[in-house]
Amino acid sequence: MTLKVAIQMDHISLIDIEVDSTFVIAMEAQKRGFDIFHYQPANLIMKNTRLFAWGEPLKLKKDNASYFQLGSSELLDLSEMDVVLMRQDPPFDMSYITATHLLDHLASKTLVVNNPTAVRNAPEKLFVTEFSAFTPPTLITSNHDQVRLFRSQYKDIVLKPLFGNGGVGVVHITAEDENLNAILELFSQHIPEPVVVQKYLPAVRQGDKRIVLIDGKAAGAVNRIPPKGEARSNLHVGGKAKKATLTDREQQICEQLGPELSQRGLIFAGIDMIGDYLTEINVTSPTGLQEINRFDNSCLEADIWNAIEQRLENFL
C-alpha cells in the first residue's frame, strides 16, 4: 500500500534525531515507500470548508550532519492525504486547540493520528482524572486556601501547571518549605489556569516510568531516573533512561486504559507511572520510542504503522 502522509510538526530542523520519536515514525514511513510531506501548524489554511497547508515533500536519512531534505513548497490539500500525523509539541494552548478544530474537518476524508477531537478532549493532566482509581491524591484549583489545606493533609506536595509540558514549572514543596505562598503568587501572575497539586511520591527517586501504548496495547517501557537534587525525571532536564519492564499493576492499568484509548482513536499514547500510581496520560505528541527500541531491540514505529494501516482498511 503506497500512502500519502503529511506530518504536522515543529520544523524538522529543530529535532534531535537520536531521541526524537517523530523522526523514526517518519523514517519507517519512508522505508515503506510512502510519500511524506512536512508542514508546520502555522501553515494550516482553511478555505471555506477545505483544509490546506503550505508544506514540502520530505526525505530523511540517519545522518546528524544532513538528516533531512525538503522539496519545493507547495499547497497541500490535506483531504488528498491518506494520513495526517499530528506531531507538534505542546504547550496545549489555543493555537494547539485551534489546530485540532481545523483537522476535525478531515474526519470523513483523511485519517488523522491521533484523533484531533480526542486529543482536544484529553489534556494530559485532566484526562488522567478519568482513571482516579489509579492516581495519587490530586487537587486541581485556583483557590490558594484549598492548596494550603491539601498541603496540611499530605505534607510533601508537587505543584504543576495544568497545561504545562516537559516538566516545566513542576515544583516539589516539602512540609517545611516556606515558599509555597510565593510560588502560588508566581503561578497566579504567569499562568491563568488552575494549578495541579498532587501528593509527593517518594518512589520518584526510583524513576518515572513511561509506558507506550499502541492502539490500546502496551508495547514497551522506559524508566527515567531523576538526577540528584532534582524532583523531575524528564530526560531533557538530566533524567537518565533505564531499561524497564511492566509490573503486574502496570499491566492491569494498561488493560483498563487501553480499550478507551483505542476507542477514541488515540493510536500512539504514553502513560507515566511513579511507583504504583498513574500520573499522566500523554496523547498530544508522545515520546520514548527510540529509548525503548534501544533497550528492547524493538521497532515500535513499525508497530505504529501496522496499527495505522489496519485502521485504514476500515477507514477508506
- Pick the catalytic residue: 87, 109, 120, 160? 160
What is the percent of the chain where pLDDT is above 70?
99
Residue 119 clears pLDDT 70, i.e. is over it: yes
Give the pLDDT confidence of 56-114 residue by residue, as tens digits: 999 999 999 999 999 999 999 999 999 999 999 988 899 999 999 999 999 999 999 99
The mean pLDDT of 114-130, rounded to a whole number, is 95
CATH of region 4-113: 3.40.50.20
- Pick the catalytic residue: 272, 291, 301, 303? 272
What is the percent of the chain where pLDDT is above 90?
89
311 is catalytic: no
What is the predicted pLDDT for the residue at 156? Answer: 96
Residue 228 clears pLDDT 90, i.e. is over it: no
224 is catalytic: yes
Query: Does 3.30.470.20 match the CATH number of domain 203-307?
Result: yes
Residues carrying CATH 3.40.50.20, the chain: 4-113
Residues carrying CATH 3.30.1490.20, the chain: 137-200
50 is catalytic: no
223 is catalytic: no
Cell readout for 186 is: 508566581
- Pick the catalytic residue: 210, 215, 234, 301? 210
205 is catalytic: no
- The CB-side HSE value for 158 (13 A sphere, CA atoms) comes to 21
The mean pLDDT of 282-304, rounded to a whole number, is 97
- Pick the catalytic residue: 56, 280, 291, 301? 280
Residue that is written with C-alpha cell 497545561 in the block: 163
What is the predicted pLDDT for the residue at 239? Answer: 85
> Considering only CA atoms, which of 97, 85, 107, 93 is closest in space to residue 40?
85
**Claim: this prediction has a pTM higher than 0.75:** yes
- Pick the catalytic residue: 87, 125, 209, 264? 125
- DSSP letter at 225 equals E
Fold (CATH) for 137-200? Dna Ligase; domain 1 (3.30.1490)
Would the CA dihedral through 138, 141, 142, 148 be positive or negative? Answer: negative
- Pick the catalytic residue: 151, 282, 293, 303? 282
What is the predicted pLDDT for the residue at 231? Answer: 79
Give the pLDDT confidence of 23-42 residue by residue, as tens digits: 999 999 999 999 999 999 99
* Residue 295 CB burial class (10 angstroms; 0-12, 13-18, ≥19): middle
228 is catalytic: no
- The CB-side HSE value for 4 (13 A sphere, CA atoms) comes to 11
- Pick the catalytic residue: 20, 224, 250, 291? 224
Residues carrying CATH 3.30.470.20, the chain: 203-307
What is the predicted pLDDT for the residue at 149? Answer: 97
Give the C-alpha separation, 209 to 224, whole Å.
Answer: 6
The average confidence (pLDDT) of the chain is 95
The mean pLDDT of 298-312, rounded to a whole number, is 98
Phi, psi of 190 (to 5 degrees): -115, -15
155 is catalytic: no
Residue 230 clears pLDDT 90, i.e. is over it: no
47 is catalytic: no
Residue 316 clears pLDDT 70, i.e. is over it: no
Residue 166 clears pLDDT 80, i.e. is over it: no
